[in-house]
Amino acid sequence: MKARKFKIDEWVDYHRFPDSKFEALKNDCTRAVILEVLDKREIYDYRIFIDDGTSTVRKVKEENLFPVNKTK
C-alpha cells in the first residue's frame, strides 16, 4: 500500500493536466486545500477545495497534486 503524501488542511498546487503535450494546459495550476484523505480502496486519493473563486470541491488523484512552492 502506498502512503499518502499530503495531509488534511495542507495547501497544494492542483494541475488538471500535468502530462499534457500543450504548455498552456501543462502549466495551468490552481491552489487547493486538502479536505479529506480518501480510503485506499477508492479510485481517487483526495477530496480538495479549489481556491479559484468558484468554490469547487473535487475528488482527485495524487498525481495531480504538487507541494506548494514556498518561495515568493
Q: 51, 45, 36: which is closest to 65 by C-alpha?
A: 45
Q: If pLDDT is split at 50, 70 and 90, which confidence band does 27 have? A: confident
Residue 4 lies in a domain: no
Residue 51 lies in a domain: yes
- pTM to 2 decimals? 0.83
pLDDT single digits (tens) 58-72: 999 999 999 987 654
Residue 59 lies in a domain: yes
pLDDT single digits (tens) 33-52: 999 999 988 899 999 999 99
16 and 37 Cβ atoms separated by less than 8 Å:
no
Q: What's the total number of domains in the chain?
A: 1
Spacing of C-alpha 17 from chain mean position: 11
The CATH number given to whatever domain includes residue 21 is 2.30.30.40
